[in-house]
Structure 1
Amino acid sequence: MELYENKLSGSIPKEAGNMTALVNLWINDNSLSGVIPQQIGNLHHLRILCMFMNKLSGPLPPTISNMSSLGTVDISSNTITGALPSEIGSMKLGILILDHNALTGTIPSAIGNMSDMRSLLLSSNNLNGPIPSTIGNISNLRDLLLSFNKLNDLSSNKLSGELPSSICKLSHLNYLLLSNNTLEGRLPHCFENFSGSLTIFHLNENKFSGLIPSTFSKNCSLMSINLGNNKFHGRLPKSLINCQSLRVLYIGNNRIQDDFPFWMERLRKLLVLVLRSNKFGGNMSLPSRTKFPFPRLQVFDVSHNEFLGSLPQRYFKNFRAKIYPTVFYEEFLDYVEMILTLKGQDQLLNRLPETFTAIDLSSNRFCGTIPPSMGNLKSLKYFNLSHNSLTGHIPSSFGNMSELESLDLSTNNLNGEIPSELTRLTFLAKLNLSTNNLVGQIPQSNQFSTFENDSYIGNLGFAEFR
Structure 2
Amino acid sequence: MRSLQFCYPILLHLFLFHLLSHFSSSLPLCRHDQSSALLHFKNSFSLNTEASEWCDIYRNSPYPKTASWQNGSDCCLWDGVTCDTISGNVIGLDLSCSWLQGTFHQNSTLFQLTHLQTLNLADNDFSGSPMPSHFGGLQSLVYLNLSHSDFAGGIPSKISRLSNLVSLDLSRNDDLRIEPIQWKKLIQNATNLRELVFSGIDMSSIKPSSLSFLMNLSSSLVSLSLRHTGLHGNLSNSILCLPNLQILDLSFNDDLKIQLPKFNWSTSLTHLILWSTKSLGGNLPDSIGHLKSLYYLDLPNFELPGTIPPSFGNLSQLTFLGLHACKLQAPIPPSFWNLTQLTVLDLSFNNFSSQIPSSLSNFQHLTQLYLSENYFSGPIPNWMFHLVNLTWLTLSSNNLSGHVEFHQFLKLKNLQILDLSNNNFFSISFNKNLKMLDLSNNKIRRRVPKWLNDFEHYPLYSLNLSYNLLTSISDFSMMNIKYIDLSHNMLQGDLPIPSSSTSFFSVSNNKLTGDISSAICNASSLEVLNLSHNNLTGPIPQCLGNFPLLSNLNLQKNHLSGSIPTNISKENSHLETLNLNGNQLVGPLPQSLVQCKQLQVLDVGENNIDDQFPSWLDALSELQVLILRANKFYGVIPSRFKTKNPFSKLRIIDLSHNSFSGPLPIAYIKNFKGMKNVDKDTIGLNYLGNFSTFTGLVYLDSIVVTMKGFSIELEKILTTFTTIDLSKNLFEGEISKVFDELISLRGLNLSHNRINGTIPHSLGNLKSLEWLDLSSNKLEGEIPVALTNLNFLSYLNLSQNRLEGMIPQGKQFNTFLDESYAGNSKLCGFPLSRKCNKDEEQPPSPSTSHFDHEKEEFGFGWKAVALGYGCGVIFGMVMGYVVFAIGKPEWLVTTFGGETNKMRRMRNKPHGYRTSRN
| TM-score, scaled to structure 2 | 0.47
1:372 deviates by: 1.6
Q: Secondary structure at the match of 2:626?
A: strand
Q: Which residue identity is paired with 1:85?
A: P
Matched, 1:332 2:686: no
Deviation at 1:94, TM superposition (A): 3.3
User: Is this contact kept in 2: 1:86–1:108, CA < 8 A?
Assistant: no
| Separation in structure 2 between the aligned mates of residue 8 and residue 200 of structure 1, nearest angstrom | 36
Q: Is the CA contact (8 Å cut-off) linking 2:556 and 2:582 kept in structure 1?
A: yes
Residue matched to 2:552: 200
CA distance in 2, matches of 1:250, 1:387: 22
Change (3 A) 1:385 1:192: same
**C-alpha distance 13-455 of structure 1, shift in aligned 2 (>3 A):** closer
Does residue 551 of structure 2 align to residue 179 of structure 1? no
Count of aligned positions: 448
Per-residue deviation, 1:261: 0.5
Q: 1:354 aligns with which of 700, 719, 726?
A: 719
Distance 2:621 2:443 in 1: 42
Shift of 1:27: 3.1
Q: Which residue of 1 is the match for residue 91 of structure 2? A: none
Give 1:14 shift: 7.2
Pairwise mapping of residues 41-440 of structure 1 onto structure 2 (< 5 A)? 42-43=409-410, 45-59=413-427, 61=428, 63-64=429-430, 67-91=431-455, 92-112=458-478, 114=479, 116-132=480-496, 135=497, 138-148=499-509, 157-194=510-547, 196-219=548-571, 220-325=573-678, 332=690, 335-440=700-805
Structure 2: distance between partners of 1:30 and 1:380: 37
* Correspondence for 1:10 among 337, 354, 377: 377
Secondary structure of 2:481's aligned partner:
coil
Amino acid at match of 1:378: I
Distance 1:40 1:363 in 2: 64
Match of 1:82, SS state, is strand
Partners of 1:236 and 1:429 in 2: how far apart?
A: 36
* Residue 393 (structure 2) aligned to one of 6, 26, 44: 26
Whole-angstrom distance in 2 between the partners of 1:376 and 1:181: 41
2:599 is paired with a residue whose SS is: coil
Task: In structure 2, give the amino acid aligned to 1:388.
Answer: N
Alignment check: 8 A CA contact 1:296 1:319 kept: yes
Task: Tell me which moved more, 86-95 or 309-318.
Answer: 86-95
Is the contact between residue 700 and residue 716 of structure 2 (CA under 8 Å) also seen in structure 1? Answer: yes
Partner secondary structure for residue 89 of structure 1: helix
Counterpart contact for 2:687–2:700, Cα < 8 Å? no
Separation (CA, whole Å) in 2 of partners of 1:161 and 1:379 = 44
Residue 390 (structure 1) shift: 0.7
Q: Which residue of 2 aligns with 1:152?
A: none
2:776 and 2:800 in contact (8 A); partners too: yes
For 1:85-143, what per-residue CA distance to the aligned partner results, in whole angstroms no more than 9, with x for missing partners? Answer: 3442331243343343323221225414x2x21111111122222123xx35x221111
Deviation at 1:189, TM superposition (A): 1.3
Amino acid at match of 2:668: Y
Instruction: Give 1 or 2: higher strand fraction.
Output: 1
Runs (4+) off by over 6 Å: none
SS in 1 for 2:660: strand
Aligned to 2:406: 39
Query: What is the rounded CA distance, in whole Å, between the counterparts of 1:158 and 1:88 in structure 2?
Result: 22
Contact 1:35-1:58 within 8 A present in 2 as well: yes
Distance 1:291 1:101 in 2: 46
Indicate if the aligned counterparts of 1:199 and 1:221 stay in contact, CA closer than 8 A: yes
Amino acid of the residue matched to residue 111 of structure 1?
Answer: S
* Structure with the largest fraction of helix: 2
Q: How much does 1:384 deviate? A: 0.1
2:463–2:481 CA contact under 8 A, matched in 1? no
* C-alpha distance in 1 between matches for 2:375 and 2:446: 25
> Cα 1:247–1:455, aligned 2, differ >3 Å: closer, same or farther?
same
Q: Tell me, yes or no, if the aligned pair for 1:82 and 1:102 is still in contact at 8 Å.
A: no
Shift of 1:190: 0.7
CA contact (8 A) 1:210 1:233 kept: yes
Contact conserved, 2:404 with 2:425, CA < 8 A, in 1?
no
**292-301 or 78-87, which deviates more:** 78-87
Query: Would the alpha carbon gap of residues 216 and 160 (structure 1) be closer, same or farther in structure 2, given more than 3 Å must change?
Result: same
- Looking at structure 2, the residues matched to 96 and 122 of structure 1 have their Cα atoms a distance apart, in angstroms, of 11
Deviation per residue, 1:42-101 (Å, 9 max, x gap):
517354242344322325x4x44xx33222212223333331134423312433433433
Amino acid at match of 2:441: S
Separation in structure 2 between the aligned mates of residue 127 and residue 19 of structure 1, nearest angstrom = 37
Separation in 2, partners of 1:18, 1:459:
74
Which residue of 2 is the match for residue 151 of structure 1?
none
Question: 1:437-457 CA distances to partner (integer Å, 9 max, x unpaired)?
Answer: 001111012211111111001
CA distance in 2, matches of 1:373, 1:80: 55
**C-alpha separation between the residues in 2 aligned to 1:146 and 1:31?**
25
Who wins on radius of gyration, i.e. which is larger? 2
TM-score scaled to structure 1, two decimals?
0.90
- Higher mean C-alpha deviation, range 309-318 or range 123-132: 123-132
Label 1:78 to 1:4 Cα distance change in 2 as closer, same or farther (>3 A): farther
Cα pair distance change 1:454/1:23, threshold 3 Å: same
Deviation at 1:200, TM superposition (A): 0.7
**Distance (Å, rounded) in 2 between the aligned partners of 1:296 and 1:208:** 30
Letter in 2 for 1:365: L
Q: Give the gaps of 5 or more residues in structure 2.
A: 1-366, 692-698, 832-918
Secondary structure (helix, strand or coil) at the match of 2:643 reads coil
SS in 1 for 2:585: strand
Does the residue aligned with 1:33 lie in a helix, a strand or coil? strand
Alpha-carbon distance in structure 2 between the residues aligned to 1:375 and 1:139: 51
Structure 1 residue runs of 5 or longer lacking an equivalent are 149-156
